[in-house]
Structure 1
Amino acid sequence: MDVVVARIGKAHGLRGEVTVEVRTDAPQERFVVGRSFTTDPAQAGPLRLRSVRDHNGITLLGFEEATDRTAAEALRGTLLVADVEEDEDDENAWYEKDLVGLRVLTVAGEEVGEVAGVDSRPAQDLLVVRLASGREALVPFVEALVPEVDVEGGRVVIDPPAGLLELDEG
């Protein structure tokens, strides 16, 4: 299955390295020198990994196809796509494509909206919920706040603390 594992950020240095927004729980398995990635948009790739390193908590990648800063800058915003086998044993792992469009309900059964995406952050993922009002709310994607994900049933159940869905209201 094709899965987005990173989004390329800004160029770093003069030798073609780029920062990346990691979108995988297993970067040490996905980012291995010699591995090739397809890209979105497709005209940017495929890209073959020539270097991987950590720089003060930021993952830096170098690609054989981008050996200078100009080439690295041209990759900014590109999504890296890897062919990943689904692990059927992990019942608590979902891909963003599986979640987008699911109905979001509270534990009390109240309709909240629908999943618009997943915002991957260094500390934890955030569930992006499009509320009935059209506004978006960010819900930390942790079991205490998202106790149930039922992809087959087309729903996500959340248990938001008071005020979470009202944050940022004008």
Structure 2
Amino acid sequence: MRLVVGRIGRAHGIRGDVAIDVRTDTPEERFTVGSALETDRSGVGPLTIGSVRVHSGRLLVRFKGVADRDAAEGLRGISLLVDSEDLPPTGDPDEFHDHELIGLTAVTTGGEEVGTVGDVLHHAQDLLVLSVPGGREVLVPFVTELVPEVDVPGGRIVLDPPPGLLDLAD
């Protein structure tokens, strides 16, 4: 599975730098000189990082072979990807990479299967997007009180939802 770690924004300056909308918790690991990142655009990539710097709180990257502003603008909107197999384990039993959660079966504490984790959204509160029967989606806050158990090797998460949480999509 390929994961988005950033999205290329507008060009910065005239030498080919681009601003990166970072979509990873570890940009210092993903965006290093010499790293090659796959892209979501056919015929473009992998892009190899030639230089990295932070300017006014934004990550600026120059890719090898991109030497001017016009070439940099041509990359705008491209998502930068890594293979999930290349990600090291978090080392924390209570932290998970999104790809570890996506696809897990969601069951209640009573053992009733309610759906599958289809996505993880990161907002002020992390949310699990459950695909439930009938093609519906239900958002579940990813907090210990509602998700007391995550069993990645067993392929499931256990939910302890308050009354009505799973019925909201009806």
- SS of the counterpart of 1:98? helix
CA contact (8 A) 2:90 2:97 kept: no
Distance 1:118 1:111, change over 3 A: same
Residue 31 of structure 1 aligns with which residue? 31
Q: Following superposition of structure 1 onto structure 2, how do residues 1-170 of structure 1 map, counting pairs within 5 Å? A: 4=3, 6-8=5-7, 10-11=9-10, 13=12, 15=14, 16-22=17-23, 24-41=24-41, 43-49=43-49, 50-53=51-54, 55=56, 59-64=58-63, 65-66=65-66, 67-68=68-69, 71-81=72-82, 84-87=86-89, 89-121=91-123, 123-167=124-168, 169=169
Give the counterpart letter for 1:106 in structure 2: T
Unaligned runs of 5+ in 1: none
Distance in 1, Cα, partners of 2:90 & 2:61: 32
Give the TM-score of the pair, scaled to structure 2. 0.72
Distance 1:38 1:136, change over 3 A: same
CA contact (8 A) 2:18 2:72 kept: no
The size of the alignment, in residue pairs, is 164
Q: CA deviation at 1:139?
A: 1.9
- SS of the counterpart of 1:74? coil
Over alpha carbons, which structure has the higher Rg?
2
Q: CA deviation at 1:77?
A: 4.1
- SS of the counterpart of 2:5? strand
Q: CA deviation at 1:117?
A: 1.6
- Aligned-residue Cα RMSD (Å) equals 3.2
Structure 1 segments, 4+ long, off by >6 Å, are: none
Q: CA deviation at 1:25?
A: 2.7
Give the counterpart letter for 1:117 in structure 2: D
Give the counterpart letter for 1:84 in structure 2: D
Distance in 2, Cα, partners of 1:92 & 1:118: 15
CA contact (8 A) 2:5 2:30 kept: no
CA contact (8 A) 2:37 2:80 kept: no
Is the deviation greater in 158-167 or in 135-144? Answer: 158-167
Give the TM-score of the pair, scaled to structure 1. 0.72
Unaligned runs of 5+ in 2: none
